[in-house]
Amino acid sequence: MTQLAGKHALVTGGGTGVGAAIARRLAAAGAKITLAGRRREPLEATAAEIPGAAMVQADVTDEAAVREMFEAARAAQGPVDILVANAGAAESVALKNTSLDQWERMLSVNLTGSFLCAREALADMLESDQGRVVFVSSTAGLKGYPYVAAYCAAKHGVVGLTRAMASELAKTGITVNAVCPGFTETPLLADSIAKIVEKTGRSEEDARKSLAASNPQGRFVQPEEVAESVVWLCASGSGSVTGQAISISGGEVT
């Protein structure tokens, strides 16, 4: 498939999970890939699977680091045509026990990091009057979940950022959308299940079933399903789709 041939896609959090699946799928569609993330080893492993992929080790919460990340990506692959802002993290704690540090950490990586990357990507996209920005939000950006108030607030913020940017850029050739997966089979989910087991003493099987039950299909979303939606949003035929927060959740959020 070559519908994205010649396009340069920068994927943050691209070393594992949903980010890695998105990067592989964009590459299969013909895009040039730059993988970005904080940990070098996962980036190297995923880059080895994608011919010609570049990689940049960076922290998306650091303004100067984001600027340097884009400079390195441009030097390696040219101007950025597609940004997939996927880097994120989740911490679970009751609101009454949430510290200001935890609150700010969730907003920093999930929301501020998305803003910094999007702002930097616009330098290239506005010059060419074309581009695709896809934020990886969550069903937590569309509804509330207990014990993850800071994460929900941050992901709701990503959806708001999506809608504001799309409105601001509507008369250009740049579209801005968010994909909002439910519980997805990733290392982040594995960590959540391990914490449930540790805190409750329940079996891993029971913990998995309890989380999967939120999906009306009774299963976890697969990273490749999220990747397919992202590729569609990045293709030329989706030019009239902007400002959307697309639920990928088996009907959990409709």
Q: What positions carry a catalytic annotation?
A: 151
Strands 32-37 and 82-85: unpaired
Q: How crowded is the C-beta side of 115, counted as CA atoms within 13 Å?
A: 16
- What is the maximum alpha-carbon separation in the chain? 55
CA angle 6, 30, 82 (to 5 degrees): 60
Helix (H, G, I), strand (E, B) or coil at 180: strand
Burial label for 226, CB within 10 Å (0-12, 13-18, 19+), is: buried
Give the residue ranges of DSSP H helices in the chain: 17-28, 40-47, 63-77, 100-107, 113-128, 149-168, 187-200, 204-212, 223-234
Burial label for 172, CB within 10 Å (0-12, 13-18, 19+), is: middle
Which tokens belong to 200? 């409750």
Pairwise CA distance, residues 189 & 192, whole Å: 5
Pairwise CA distance, residues 157 & 115, whole Å: 10
Distances (CA, A) of 196 to 104, 200, 205, 210: 23, 6, 11, 10
